[in-house]
Amino acid sequence: MRRRDFITMLGGAAAAWPLGVRAQQSWKLPLVGVLLGFDENDSEAKAWVAAFEEGLQKLGWRKGRNLRIDYHWAGNDEARLRSYAARLVGAAPDVIFSATGLALVALNRATRSLPIVFVQVSDPVKLGFVETLARPGGNITGFTTYEYSIGGKWLELLKDTAPSTTRVAVVFDPRNPTQAPYVQGIEASAPSFGLQLTQAAVRDLAEVEGAIDAFAQQRNGALIVVPNIVTLNHRDLIIALAARHRLPTVYPYRIFTTAGGFISYGIDLADIYRRAASYIDLILKGAKPADLPVQLSAKFELVVNLKAAKALGLTIPEPFLQRADEVIE
């Protein structure tokens, strides 16, 4: 071999070697698997994920530098949730981050050993995901969304702002195991407010439209939208139908109200995602989900959209507005 060729070969090997080492090193980085029950093009869901990554960065974790994150966006598709859950478990990540009840159901079926941190799940004890809030006891912990008693608060908000309401439809997803206790809690509170309750079970866009159109055929109606993937993914349609039929509506998250909805009362989702990063951090450092208590939501916000109220012909009492965390003009 000629000397020039030999030197060229050595140079090529030297150039390739650091790349190979870097590739090997990247695979040694801790891996966080993520299963989300949202569409990848949902701008609000992307903002929540950004808050999650922001929380990780504040704790010293940076994607691509000292951490790998593998995202799976399943939308409201149960088959995809099951498939992605199996794929994530097969990759054996150091910890899995799960958003929404249906995503956690799929992951719980796929593994009982890999650590899982959840958000946007109500009553994980009743649903069998953890033993108790204080001592989860298994491979799952996280940040629970609501106590089901909040249904009474949603009814109270309706009567305070739309006192002529006599009928309320509860919009929920019957496939989601977190939904029935919401409906039961609202049903239990309805008589004390003199309200007749209707269950509006919805699984997709067509059922959302059909249920609300049918309910709106009679007067003095209003809606309560229960938090789930269906209502989140089709929030623009729900808001438009409520406006078209002049139905005062209470929503579970601020994003509904900023998009034109009437009133929302619920948790700050970005805050929950940001806080969830702290449990990812602890597990990556050796903590066990069984020893990390499930945390309740601490930050609730009441948001009122005055433009929507005016379109409904409603005047919101000043004391009510003073209680609100945000008033949208």
- Please give the model's pTM, rounded to 2 decimal places: 0.84
For CA atoms 229, 230, 231, 237, the dihedral sign is: positive
Higher model confidence: residue 12 or residue 96? 96
Length of the chain: 329
pLDDT per residue as tens digits for the range 50-108: 999 999 999 999 999 999 999 999 987 889 999 999 999 999 999 999 999 889 999 99
Q: Which domains, and CATH codes, for the chain?
A: 30-146+269-291 (3.40.50.2300), 150-266+300-328 (3.40.50.2300)
Give the model's pLDDT for residue 21. 40
Give the Å distances, CA to CA, from 315 to 301, 305, 309.
20, 11, 7
Q: Give backbone dihedrals phi and psi of 138, rounded to 5 degrees, phi first.
A: -130, -140
Structure token digits, residue 31: 């891996």
pLDDT per residue as tens digits for the range 286-315: 999 999 999 988 778 999 999 999 999 999
